[in-house]
Amino acid sequence: MGKHRTVWDLVKRAAGPAVALLVIAFFGGYALAGPNGVIAWGDYRHQLDKKQAELSKLEAQKKVIANRVALLDPRKANPDLADELIRERLGYAHPDEIIIPMDQADPVR
C-alpha cells in the first residue's frame, strides 16, 4: 500500500518543478522579447548610430563656434571679424555698403 499514490500527491510533487519551469519561461521570454531583450537590441543599435551622427554634427558646430570665439579674443582679435559682426548685428552699415558673410552655414549668426 505504500506505493499507492493519489492524484493529490502527484499534483503536490509536480507543483514545485512546474512553478520553476514557469519562472524560467517568464524570465527567458522577457530576456528575448522584453524592452531590454535580444529583439530590442537592433533598435537600440539603430538609435545609437543616429545619435552618433548627430553628435558628430554638433561637434563640428562646436569647433566652428570655438574658432569664432578665439578670433574675438581681445588679446588677438581679428579686426575684420569684429567689424563685420558689429556692422551686421547692430545695423551700422551704410545703405551703399555690402557685407559679405564669411560663412553662410555659420550657426552663430
8 Å CB contact between 72 and 108: no
Domain count for the chain, please give it: 2
Q: Which of 79 and 44 is assigned the larger pLDDT?
A: 44
- All 3 cell numbers of residue 50? 543616429
Nearest to 107, CA basis, from 50, 72, 53, 63? 63
| Amino acid (one-letter) located at 2 | G
* 19 falls within a domain: yes
* 40 falls within a domain: no
| pTM (two decimals) | 0.46
Q: Are 92 and 55 contained in the same domain?
A: yes
Whole-number average pLDDT of the chain:
81
Q: Read off the pLDDT of residues 6-51 as tens digits, 9 standing for 90 and up.
A: 888 888 889 999 999 999 999 999 988 888 888 888 888 999 999 9
8 Å CB contact between 72 and 82: yes
* 39 falls within a domain: no
Q: Are 58 and 29 contained in the same domain?
A: no
Task: Return the number of other C-beta atoms located less than 10 Å from residue 68's C-beta.
Answer: 18
